[in-house]
Structure 1
């Protein structure tokens, strides 16, 4: 592995870890606040899937960096400007409809991206993707069912769900952006050219939203910046909470 490919791979798996840990933490914020017990359990399980995924990506990042850092350093010892997660993942918990719509958008993305990532020539990345595919099938089934139930439910649930779709849609364009790092890895069979996946994602999401009697928004606005370290204020607040214990007791291990 050349130095350029190794550095790009380090950046790539760190990004994937950031997406996973941030969304996993957001999902975990529903534990004990779900509408009923089964949802508390479901939220906890989905959050653990994402946190487990982040651990695998960060562990591989630490191996590639080979500078003494561990997976904990990647998760707990970086500031918001160092994080490279997509903005969709860091948006606040919101109400139940908001979280379920965000989850649907993310699950549909994972559904079209992971089958391509599992083809990676990097065996570690491919192995993580293979495990995540199994989890994502459950995640998508759950988020799809909830969006259908909420969108085609009461007048209030419909309005809240449509509002969430409208508020989150502009953050989805970033899911399919490519920069030099990702293009280099895609060209070398390690990463995924996500720019080619938007049509499949859009068709999947549109079918679900239409079935739920929801309106698919137009593409009149878009927000980007997560991959270059420019985030909303929401991430800083979230990391403060997520990192406080580790930063208060540096060097401790559990």
Structure 2
């Protein structure tokens, strides 16, 4: 892992060829440290992982927010290039408002050089939790992740109280992005709008909505983080095979 003022890189083991590039965009209150576990896990499967800082969303000028965000993502992707260029496919993984920004940007035709997206924990216009204990419970029941959030001096408590600009939420849920999309949500996420997520998934040409049992808002980092990471890796591998799954179940008793 290498640290930079604007991003954190996770490198895979020496030897295997890099299988693609993953850029992770955190959400409200989060820092790059929030995604250390996910970054290491994806990097171990020979993906080049870069975690950027959360994107500030300006409710007074959402279009400018997306323009700045698009430029940052383009710079982050180009900065991962090796001697043979950027390893493809390039996949943007957004969480919470990071997912909103990714979906809104691609839906509006913004150029990000992304070949696919993972949208995790897309928020709705739901009421936010109250005190810190309420926020922790809304985010995760994973002891390790709760400890990470509690011990991270850069993490902003109460951030889920911050309203997401309505124009960007509308753009995200109405996104017409034509790249493959994996949408992840927890069925115990108090901030999720399952009906809206279902409509969005059905409206996109190449989207899959995966619901994680008993997972909360921080679906990438909750108790089920191993299964969620496996779902992401399966998606990444399918991308390299024209979205044809590499494993199919022919017979099962469970």
In the superposition, the TM-score normalised over structure 2's length comes to: 0.32
More strand by share: 2
In the superposition, the TM-score normalised over structure 1's length comes to: 0.32
Q: Highest relative contact order (Cα 8 Å, sep 6+), 1 or 2?
A: 1
| Larger Rg computed on CA atoms | 1
